[in-house]
Amino acid sequence: MTDNPLDNIRIVLVGTLYSGNVGSACRAMANMGIRHLRLAAPNIQDKNWIEGQKMAVHADDVLNNREEFATFEEAIADCVAVVGTTARGGLYRQHVRAPRDCAAEILERAATGPVAVVFGREDKGLLNEEIAQCTHLIRIPVDEGYTSINLAQAVLVTSYELFTASGHYQPPHEKAPAAPQAQKAQLMKMWREMLEEIGYMDETKADHMMQGIHRVFSRGVVTKDDAALLLGVARQTMWAWREKGLGKRG
């Protein structure tokens, strides 16, 4: 058991050809809090992993800690679920779902043990015999005009859906308290005085024009900090105007 089911996600790349794709996949994984990479029967052309190290950037720990297996079967042997990715259709690929639609279910399985999320070869994806060993199949929704997705991009999109579904991301929230009505009224009064003083509007049209100003502010001035900022703008504008001897009371 684990408090964070993402710790039990195993990204499995099958028959991968290019170390740069592996490095980019590592970066995508690290962005989404997934750290365990497995290579099944890798066929890396760059034996020195130069491109892979370059593309991994600061996710070199994911790349360096990768596990390599001689066969697909060995790579998934300890997993309680195997999620295959496929862009192709066919009789045995008709029950595919979008990553977003099954991310929660995948994480439920991952809460009980390792789950393999499997990506096939750059040139031909997963073979039918590999698809047959998957408990789930997913397909990233794309435009029908071009369905091929780069390996690392596919890892990123799928990992993003799992990360989002895990609930670990907490969006920043507004720290300033809501602006009270009295402060908003003070803001409107100050802006009216400022706009009249600098000649933007005269007193005969002020009521009508302030309705528009109020409408704009009511959509955007939400917090006390918002209102205080705009109050400051009005005060500073009037001060500068009067310093130049241009104001009504200059």
What are the tens digits of pLDDT across the range 170-203?
777 778 888 889 988 888 888 888 888 877 777 8
Instruction: Give residue 16's pLDDT band: very low, low, confident or very high (50, 70, 90).
Output: very high
Residue 61 has pLDDT above 70, yes or no: yes
Q: What is the pTM of this model?
A: 0.74
* Integer angstrom CA distances of residue 161 from 18, 74, 176, 236: 25, 26, 31, 48
Cβ atoms of 17 and 41 within 8 Å: the answer is no
Domain boundaries, the chain: 5-166, 181-243
Residue 226 or residue 65, greater confidence: 65
What superfamily does domain 5-166 belong to in CATH? SPOUT methyltransferase, trefoil knot domain (3.40.1280.10)
- pLDDT for the residue 250: 43
- The beta strands (E) that lie in the chain are given as 9-14, 36-40, 67-69, 81-85, 115-119, 136-138
